[in-house]
Amino acid sequence: MDREQVVALQHQRFAAKKYDPNRRISQKDWEALVEVGRLAPSSIGLEPWKMLLLKNERMKEDLKPMAWGALFGLEGASHFVIYLARKGVTYDSDYVKKVMHEVKKRDYDTNSRFAQIIKNFQENDMKLNSERSLFDWASKQTYIQMANMMMAVAMLGIDSCPIEGYDQEKVEAYLEEKGYLNTAEFGVSV
């Protein structure tokens, strides 16, 4: 793909507001998109996200009153993805330790040099000193993942649209009630 094709792809991509219910994302395309999301970069490589794929029509109907920005996206879209951001992603959290040990294969404890670099980054550089600021930082990582997936979607000739118009507390309560979200660990990002 050359430069002109890359720019042309951006011109082709648009935020779809209505979807053809007869067109569906194939399983092979969906698997490729999930892999693109999995491979998306994130700050410090922590990947503090999960994707929730919503295909259940009853749940889509239930979400409409609390997701005003998604009214048209919930109708007709074969795949509706909710991006979840991990909470409490501090340098000394169990999650960060697990990523460092199991994924990054690093020696890591809260006194290690790399842990202190992350601590300094979080506490001094980014001022991530509250649950909200940590969640917002993790949410920014989900936007990187989403942008990568949306570009891949455009490359496959599939329409997409990011949606932020929703009542976060109500959507999270609904997803938790249905067993799809543990709000102690994750929150809805986008």
Mean pLDDT, the chain, rounded, equals: 94
Mean pLDDT value across residues 100-124: 95
3-state secondary structure 77-128: CCCEEEEEEECCCCCCCHHHHHHHHHHCCCCCCCCCHHHHHHHHHHHHHCCC
Task: Give the chain's largest Cα–Cα span.
Answer: 56
16-86+142-168: CATH number = 3.40.109.10
Separation CA 132–CA 35 (nearest Å): 29
pLDDT range class, residue 24, cuts 50, 70, 90: very high
Q: Residue 51: which H helix or E strand, with range?
A: strand 49-54
Residue 125 tokens read as: 């550089």
Q: Is the pLDDT of residue 153 over 80?
A: yes
Q: Residue 188: which H helix or E strand, with range?
A: strand 186-188
Whether residue 85 contacts residue 142, with contact meaning beta carbons closer than 8 Å, is answered with yes
Q: pTM surpassing 0.85?
A: yes
Counting Cβ atoms within 10 Å, is residue 47 exposed (0-12), middle (13-18) or buried (19+)? Answer: buried
Separation CA 168–CA 188 (nearest Å): 7
Closest among 178, 164, 183, 142 to 58, alpha carbons compared: 178
**DSSP code of 173?**
H
Q: What is the pLDDT of residue 165?
A: 93
Q: Is the pLDDT of residue 119 over 90?
A: yes
